[in-house]
Amino acid sequence: MRITSLIVALVITAVLPVLGQEGVGQEIKHGAKKAGETIKDELETVGEKTKETAKTVGKKTKETAQTVGEKTKETAQTVGEKTKETGETVARKTKETVETTGDEATETAKATHRESSRTSGNGKTETAEQHTTNRASKPTPSPSGR
């Protein structure tokens, strides 16, 4: 019986570590499975968050593009209006300048014509200053009066 007890003790000693390892193996397997599930859940959460972020970024990008489009349109209209106003101002100023220049030219032509008509009767050309001085000092005899 002593030998049998010794064999049983040896068998139990050999089997205990194997049983213990089996329990550890089960724990490792269970822990790995749980870690895998946790990683899977976290990846799904990250995927959902990424999808939400992508939608938000898309929405904001669309809003920004619309705002930029509106601002560009407003700027183009403002530039068009300013260009039109500038063109109208230039046309008006040019017309005024032409009219003023034309009036001055007409007045100058009339004055020149009067002066030349007055002086052509004398037979000699006088400047306006000489003409005024000569009239004040003595009357000019007419050629037919002699």
Taking the model in full, what pTM does it have? Answer: 0.39
DSSP 8-state assignment for residue 141: P
Query: Comparing 110 with 128, which gets the higher pLDDT?
Result: 110
Residue 120's nearest CA partner among 129, 131, 110 is 131
Dihedral-angle region of residue 123 (phi above 0 means left; psi in -120 to 50 means alpha; beta otherwise) = left
Residues 6+ apart with CB under 8 A from 128: 115
pLDDT in tens, 69-118: 999 999 999 999 999 999 999 988 888 888 787 767 677 766 676 666 66
CA–CA dist 57, 60 (Å, integer): 5
Q: At what angle do helices 2-120 and 128-137 cross, to 10 degrees?
A: 30
CA–CA dist 112, 127 (Å, integer): 11
Residue 11's nearest CA partner among 126, 19, 51 is 19
**What mean pLDDT is reported for the chain?**
77
Q: Which helix (H) or strand (E) holds 84?
A: helix 2-120
Q: What Cα–Cα distance (Å) separates residue 90 from each residue in 96, 98, 106?
A: 10, 12, 24
Residue 9's pLDDT is what? Answer: 76
Which range, of 33-37, 80-84, 118-122, averages the lowest pLDDT? 118-122
Asked whether the predicted pLDDT for residue 136 surpasses 60, the reply is no
